[in-house]
């Protein structure tokens, strides 16, 4: 009896595996790809009441700067459709940056893009990874999403579109490519 039981069980296991893989592939075929270009309006001036990026922690006795290892920043940038700060707001960029490289060249980014516009209102994209601060184009992973971006996976690139050093105002272009359901 045992010799007949093993092949039957193996066959059932194989059929179940094929069924699960088929269902997964069928769902994967339903993935949508979305590409977005967004503009973060970034005011980094410490002490400025309109600042959207501020340092909140760092190494005691050291200046809290973008290049000082251990400096933690929080951000709540408004995000617009175009580089013009007066263009329609589509969301907020809320999260943290930590200068994570001893040499000050890399920061670790944990950021939520919280959409407030009509099409994606209430949806979010979660961004996480190392940003090479002084590279012209910085790429990080999109690791999750909610709402219209449920189960999102992909990547985002950030590049400085405009920078005014005296006022510490910049416009950061963010190109996002995600696959989602």
Q: What is the pLDDT of residue 47?
A: 80
Query: Do 2 and 37 sit in the same domain of this protein?
Result: no
Residue-range definition of the domain harbouring residue 112: 32-180
For the segment 59-89, what is each residue's pLDDT rounded down to a tens digit? 999 999 989 999 999 999 999 999 999 999 9
Q: Tell me the C-alpha distance between 65 and 70, whole Å.
A: 9
Domain count, the chain: 2
Residue that the structure tokens 């290049």 belong to? 67
Q: Tell me the C-alpha distance between 64 and 46, whole Å.
A: 10
Query: Do 73 and 98 sit in the same domain of this protein?
Result: yes
Query: Do 108 and 91 sit in the same domain of this protein?
Result: yes
Query: Do 97 and 55 sit in the same domain of this protein?
Result: yes
**Positions of the chain with pLDDT under 50:** 26
CATH number at residue 127: 2.40.480.10
């Amino acid at each position: 009896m045992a010799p007949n039981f093993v092949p039957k069980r193996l066959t059932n296991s194989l059929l179940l595996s094929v069924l699960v893989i088929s269902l997964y592939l069928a769902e994967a075929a339903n993935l949508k790809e979305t590409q977005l270009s967004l503009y973060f309006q970034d005011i980094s001036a410490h002490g400025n009441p309109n600042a959207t990026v501020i340092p909140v922690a760092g190494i005691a006795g050291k200046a809290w700067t973008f290049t000082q290892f251990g400096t933690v920043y929080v951000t709540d940038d408004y995000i617009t459709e175009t580089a013009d700060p007066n263009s329609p707001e589509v969301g907020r960029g809320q999260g943290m940056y930590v200068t994570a490289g001893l040499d000050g060249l890399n920061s670790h980014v944990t950021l939520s893009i919280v959409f407030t516009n009509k099409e994606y209102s209430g949806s979010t994209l979660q961004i996480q990874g190392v940003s090479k601060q002084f590279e012209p184009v910085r790429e990080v992973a999109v690791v999750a999403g909610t709402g219209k971006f449920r189960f999102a996976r992909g990547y985002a690139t950030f590049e400085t579109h405009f920078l005014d050093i005296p006022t510490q105002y910049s416009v950061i272009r963010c190109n996002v490519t995600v696959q989602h359901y």
